[in-house]
Structure 1
């Protein structure tokens, strides 16, 4: 799996209880940590000029997440979807930081807090001077979203996919053929068809991957139905 730009040492391999892995992009730092018995991934994006930050999935272990946030000015917590394991620490993190809760409208009622801002496909969220595009990926849940960040300079493309795309396949659709078709169609049309092979995928659990690594297997995923 290739790195996105010269000098990058980030791998995305983290373990529950272990240290975060940190990627330094032009003007933005991405820190990944694994939490809970579900080994959920949480990602902190910090604008290096302003210290403003965005957290993707306040999944669990609020003390770990507060340590990850540190002295960053956390403005936003984006929840990728409504499943319980991705938002157990959300109330605590919001109380501690005053950050805004963001989720897709279709999953907002599944969160343990009142969502401050609901988003739809094509909307954007910001962290400091940086903009991330919201991509709606229907199937794992009705309101599952990914965030696409196109870094400055030679920093590459970065996709935070929640539980909609992993190394080796799309997210769980409980063997429902309609949900599977919806999810793989959205993943193919809204990610693979428009983003380069070098786009780095940061999933909701486990190791990272790239679209180029997974692209040759799309037909296999469709054939097997999961």
Structure 2
């Protein structure tokens, strides 16, 4: 589990804000594709801050998976969760191969045989309606940051520098008597997410050997080596 608390250094996830932003793939991988997506979104939400109605707004902590009983609850908080099935797009197209320079390796390639598709939910916990409204105002700005696409795109240095596209689905507000008694106001923001899946391959030296061919004719045996 990764926990991002207020005051912690920001993560390395990058928001793409220009349509012509050049992408450079690398060989760095610290997670699988699905975990890279939840980690990257958690880092992005941890980086958000705004001023709403004269009040500074940001999350006190963001989790990339469910919190444990040992974690002290502070608000506002968020947890990024995979929802439902993680699927892989049909690989009916020819895989794209991107060559990257690797120190100590003559040639290396990243092969993308398919795309991962999944729904990610961000559960947001606040203490009252006013705090929740401020947090959601900040999130609305964050999930629609550019004009060239619907939603937003993040780049993950910890997964080959791959880029994932996030399309907001909607938000579910959960107000009930039980939450009111505990002074909790919860909302879940959901996204459709797609990202290329990459696999690193390197050149395999060609086998070198000798072939010995023997031919027999009516006049005798002919032996040839190459």
Bucket of the pairwise TM-score, normalised by the shorter protein: under 0.3
When normalised by structure 2's length, the TM-score is 0.25
When normalised by structure 1's length, the TM-score is 0.25
| RCO higher in structure (CA 8 A, sep ≥6) | 2
Higher helix share: 1
Higher strand share: 2
Bigger Rg, structure 1 or 2: 2
